Structure 1
Amino acid sequence: MEAVCRKATDEDVETLVGLIAGYAEKGIMLPRSRDTLKRQIDTFVVAEVEGEVVGCGSLCQLGTDLVEIRSLGISDGYKGLGIGSKLVDQLIYEAKEQHIPKIMALTYEVNFFKKNGFNIVNKEIFPEKVWKDCVNCPKQNACDEIAVLKMLN
């Protein structure tokens, strides 16, 4: 079972809505509306297995030198197969193409990101993130996510 990563297209929006909603309902990912996904589709990559989209992730630019991995998720039944790492590799490639030297994420899956070359950092070093998203998050004053960072060469 080989997963192939590619840039997302408008045809992927409905699949992304469902995939992200499943994580959002569990409180482990911020929800994304259909309209937001349509507007931001060019920031997403997807993973396909035999023509079916089974994973996604996006990059959000936080500054001239920093992007964040967001909305990284894998469909049930496809977890633990290396698809998440392939998506992260594709997102890192996209960041490098944009000449962005730093890539970060807020996550509950610290070991996954460590395995992919990220280091745990203090989330307060990302004021760009705090002012862009955290200010509207219901967990703002009790955030339990861990910040991870990877420097890109």
Structure 2
Amino acid sequence: MPIMNGAASCSAASLIRPARMGDVKPIHSLLQQFASKGLLLGRSISSLYDDLRDFVVYDQGGAVQGVCALHICWENLAEIRSLAVAESSHKQGIGRALVSSCLHEAKSLEIGRVFTLTYQGGFFRKLGFAPIEKSELPHKIWSDCIQCPKFPDCDEEALIWTND
């Protein structure tokens, strides 16, 4: 995975990099801040260790200010999930840079379709994602969603990006 500088407004000491073992607790803390507000689904520390290779972080001077995961679901399908940026770092292009990094990785892995389930549909539409029916994502529904406390009454919006 490439190491990239963030948005133009970010300093040279800021970068997107693969998550490391020492990032698990800061990632968990950041995700829990938004999960407690109902803005995303929380993740256990155990699940973060299990899926650590899915994650990239936005590291600003040694502190995790943002996180995003690209989770491969099937032959030609992956999911962007667990996108969170520290509130103090909002509106700096960090979320966009994190998603762009994950989409770049999807392209390099020859994954042609990437979806997300989100409460922030407008943000993802600006990045080229388009609405999709949840029923078109059967692998996701039966692998992760069935374990969610909101299943089957999910109120997240399903969006998809295609590598054309």
Instruction: Tell me, yes or no, whether TM beats 0.5.
Output: yes
For 1:104 and 1:36, the matched residues in 2 are separated by: 20
Residue identity opposite 1:151 in structure 2: T
Deviations 1:55-110 (A, max 9, x none): 00111111111000110000111111110000000000111121111000001111
1:35 aligns with 2:74: no
Residue identity opposite 2:106 in structure 1: A
Q: Is the 8 A contact 2:68 2:80 kept in 1?
A: yes
**Residues 88-99 of structure 1: matches in 2 within 5 Å?**
88-99=99-110
Residue identity opposite 1:69 in structure 2: I
Equivalent residue number for residue 8 of structure 1: 19
Equivalent residue number for residue 136 of structure 1: 147
Percent identity of paired positions between Structure 1 and Structure 2: 36
SS of residue matched to 2:87: coil
Q: Aligned-residue CA RMSD in angstroms? A: 1.2
Give the alignment partner of residue 85 of structure 2, picking from 74, 97, 114: 74
5+ residue gaps in structure 1? none
> Displacement of 1:31 after TM fit?
1.7
For 1:82 and 1:48, the matched residues in 2 are separated by: 13
- Superposition TM-score, scaled by structure 1 size: 0.94
For 2:73 and 2:136, the matched residues in 1 are separated by: 12
- Superposition TM-score, scaled by structure 2 size: 0.88
Give the alignment partner of residue 63 of structure 1, picking from 74, 80, 90: 74
SS of residue matched to 2:89: coil
Residue identity opposite 2:76 in structure 1: D
Q: Is the 8 A contact 2:146 2:152 kept in 1?
A: no
- Return structure 1 stretches of 4+ with deviation > 2 angstroms: none
For 2:152 and 2:111, the matched residues in 1 are separated by: 29
> Displacement of 1:46 after TM fit?
0.4
Equivalent residue number for residue 101 of structure 1: 112
